[in-house]
Chain A
Amino acid sequence: MVQNGTTSPATGSWLNPNPWLVLFSSLVLAVIALAVRYIAGEDVVPLRAFLIFGSMLAAIGAVSLRLQSASWDFDERTYSSALVVGAALIGIVNYLAMAPPESDSLRWDSLRLAVRVFVVVGFAGSALILLPRVFQRIVISLLLIFHFAGILSAVTSVAPPNSTAPWISIQMWTRIFRPYLYFTYLTNAYHFYSPDPGPATLLWFYVKFEDGTGEWYRLAEKKDFSTRQEYQRMLAITESTNQVSSQMPPDNVWDAKVLARKNAGNFNKEQIPISRDYALNTQYREPNIQSRDLTASYAQYVANHYHSQKDPDLKVTTVKVYRVIHIIVNGDSLAEGIEPWDPTLYLPYYHGEFDREGNMVDPRSPFLYWLIHTEAKPKPETPARYAGKRPPSKYLDYIDYWQKHAETTGPDPVKD
């Protein structure tokens, strides 16, 4: 049957209960939940949660049953609108039933937000049902334009390389569309592999134990995960720390940082020089505040959940975090025998040492946010034809300065 209001045996759901009875049962559940809230207080939260959930489910069910079987006649639409209003009012009762104690205004706050949205949509929908068809289509068309304008504001509010995002997009995104897009998770800009496909970001954790030893925990390696999905999730975690500030420190601060870095590397127990293979200003990458917060959270997780391979009962004291960029091997390098997993293609940037509570214990470390690289030196048996150029990986010895850094720096260096 065509759902434009004509009746036929084929309309409606396979279920045939009276929508008003279902709505009434929703109201009963909501009222009981409200009564439980004010009589029992915070003692029976699961019961209240079930009642509220059941009530909302019944309200949605009642609306669904009614709208599937209703016709286009004005009387029918009036009844439908009334039922939707009833469902919205029940939403308000449930909202009150979710009201937290005064001492904890944040309790269930995000779920109360969802119920508020349900109520608003309900009232708006009830008005829409009553409108004549032409006006219905006008209103829906306006909502469509709002929806896609919001999506386009998200798409265009990402700044292009070396420029700023359109001022109008930023204003529309921030002032108008942000709440709607965030609630519905439509915030993506769809800038996949752009402007250029980039290298993957990994996280290497150096976990230090109470007995003075340390172990590496590398995130993420394919072989450690049973499903591709889980591996992809962990890659998303590591990638989330790759948000670096585009602004370099002022010149006087930068000069002091470079000097401190050089001195720390030269006078450390094990020398940790600055790399000669990369420009100096690319060797310092200060993360933005979100990246720093995430790093701290991840370090806290590792500190509290990682167990030593040698003795699972050993307690973790601190965790050092390195954000590692895995450079993609060039075509010419691959052709010349440089393997995609060559150690020099991994660029670890030191992101700090954290305790079990996620607090950074070395915020003044001169190595903080600096590249701690791997150096490659040709082996003595390297064929002469590679003189003056980088030989294949099999002819190279590697010095992992990040390993030396992990073991010999910080408030509590690892014992020999």
Chain B
Amino acid sequence: MRQASPRNLETRISINPSTSRDSSPWHAWTRFWFSLGDPSTLGFMRICAGLMVLYVHLNYTGTLYAFFGKDAWYNLQMANEYRHNQPWWETPLEGWGQGHADEEDNDKKRELRQDEIEYRERWLGDPRYTLAKGTPTTSIWFHVTDPNWMMAVHIGVLITMALFTIGFCTRITAVLTWLAALSYIQRSWAILFGMDTMMNILLIYLMIGPSGAAFSVDSWLKRRRLAKEGHGLPPGIHPVPAPSVLANFATRLLQVHFCIIYLASATSKLQGSSWWSGTAIWGVAANWEFNPMDVSLYLQFVTFLAKHRLLWEIAMTSGVLFTLFVELGFPFLVWNRRIRPYMIMGSVMLHIGIGTIMGLATFSLMMLIMVMSFIPGSVTRWAVYGAWDWLRGLTPAQIEAEPAVASSGVLTLQKH
């Protein structure tokens, strides 16, 4: 029986083959964003992201009141004051001064009212030059402060996130999961770090895409319903989720955003002298609060490096070059199919390094989940079903079921 592998299972989907060779910018754009896509990778990412999100929010259970309560580290009164009154100062559209009164703008030359005088003393700036006040943020924790209700809401959130992870009513639980995560984020920004940023990005795009179309309770229940209606799969055949435009769209969003993150990170690093001198990695490798220097083996290792200048310089410079190459090169090279696996491997290595040396395990895992968006759905299915069959002691699936072809006949499915 033919063993499944990524190569012989890879399918190509072409839309209107007669026009696929059209190279106009608009068609290139629509091919990039609006082609059909395999939701399998999104489904697997949903599980990984869901587990991470669940872990992050489970961790909040013991510190719920300390971080989000009325008298939290960042107390509610201050949080409300900032989200209602924090000034956003105007940079004039005309002229070269900052905050200089426009001769035509009599409003900026008038006397301050009493409340404006108080505002100026509080925020150390002229309220006549505020473009806006406050931030448009939303959080259940601005309003629910009773400890019992907070815990009840928190448990409800955890249940929702668990349902999202297993892919139950995914279209709804994805929205609720993102809104819930946003609530925690917006209430207490002081406790946030890079991991929260990536978690939010992942949840937004998984909410947009059909992340429940594969490896989910939803898809399993749908197959059961189809089986009852006589459209079931033969035994031993793994299902292939129907491709969709939304799946491709969400995947592209993740890919492009990931590339922006790398490019922004790399170009901002190039402003720093230590990245040019090749010593920046020491700033992370020897940072006591982040790295495992309390582990004696690690301390011995960095001390050994420090006592051998040549080795130290090679290690530091290599780390800097590798980091810059991956972050600068990834956004451009990952689109080439031959180079893509290597860039993905490079990204994986980079984040494993960040996770171990910097102790930022959850941040690294979130980035690894995001980089999965570059893995084709067929590869994800091969890996997941292969592992599933191996765990069950079965031989790998020989043939994957073909997705139902559109009755319009416009789409063709070619198996290679």
Could you tell me which A residues sit within 8 Å of B by CB distance? 1-4, 6-10, 12-16, 46, 57, 60-61, 64, 68, 106-111, 113-114, 117, 137, 140-141, 144, 148, 151-152, 155, 158, 160-161, 167, 170-171, 174-175, 178-179, 182-186, 188-200, 202, 220, 222, 227-230, 232-237, 240, 289-290, 293-294, 296-298, 300-301, 304-305, 326, 328-332, 334-335, 340-341, 358
A183–B305 contact, CB under 8 A?
Answer: no
| Complex Cα–Cα for A340 and B149 (A) | 45
A interface SS class = helix
Q: What 1/0 flags go to B254-295 for Cβ under 8 Å of A?
A: 001100110011001101111100001011101111100110
| Nearest 8 Cβ contacts at the A-B interface | A197-B283, A195-B272, A14-B221, A200-B289, A194-B268, A191-B268, A190-B264, A64-B171
Instruction: Report how far A198 CA is from B91 CA in the complex, Å.
Output: 30
Q: Does B346 lie at the interface of the complex (its beta carbon under 8 Å from any beta carbon of A)? A: no
The answer to whether B200 touches A185 (Cβ under 8 A) is yes
Known A-B contacts A151-B257, A178-B88, A340-B286; A6 and B407 likewise in contact (beta carbons under 8 Å)? yes
A113 touches B91 (CB 8 A): no
B352 CB–A CB distance under 8 Å: no
- Find residues 146-192 in chain B having any chain A CB closer than 8 Å to their own CB: 149, 169, 171-172, 175-176, 179, 182, 185-186, 190-192
Query: Among the listed A109, A114, A183, A196, which residue makes an inter-chain contact with B275, where contact means beta carbons less than 8 Å apart?
Result: A196
20 contacts between A and B (CB under 8 A): A2-B411, A6-B407, A8-B406, A9-B404, A10-B222, A10-B242, A13-B218, A148-B256, A151-B260, A183-B138, A189-B268, A220-B289, A229-B362, A240-B190, A326-B289, A328-B282, A329-B288, A330-B282, A335-B303, A340-B293
Contact A185 B408 (CB under 8 A): no
Given contacts A14-B221, A236-B191, A301-B71, contact A332 B306 (CB under 8 A): yes
Q: Which residues of A contact B138 (CB under 8 A)?
A: 110-111, 113-114, 117, 183
* B34 interface residue (CB < 8 Å to A): yes
Taking A237-B191, A332-B306 as contacts, is the C-beta distance between A57 and B172 under 8 angstroms? yes
Q: Pick out which of these stretches binds chain A: B78-86, B334-342, B371-379, B390-398.
A: B78-86
Whether A194 touches B91, Cβ cut-off 8 Å, given contacts A160-B271, A332-B306, A335-B307, is no
Quick check: A194 and B78 within 8 Å, CB to CB?
A: no
A340 in contact with B288 given A10-B242, A64-B172, A161-B271 (CB within 8 Å)? yes
Q: In this assembly, does B139 line the interface, its C-beta being within 8 Å of a C-beta of chain A?
A: yes
In whole angstroms, how far apart are the Cα atoms of A178 and B299 in the complex? 44
User: Is the Cβ of B224 less than 8 Å from the Cβ of A294?
Assistant: no
The interface residues of chain A lying within 8 Å CB-to-CB of B185 are 185
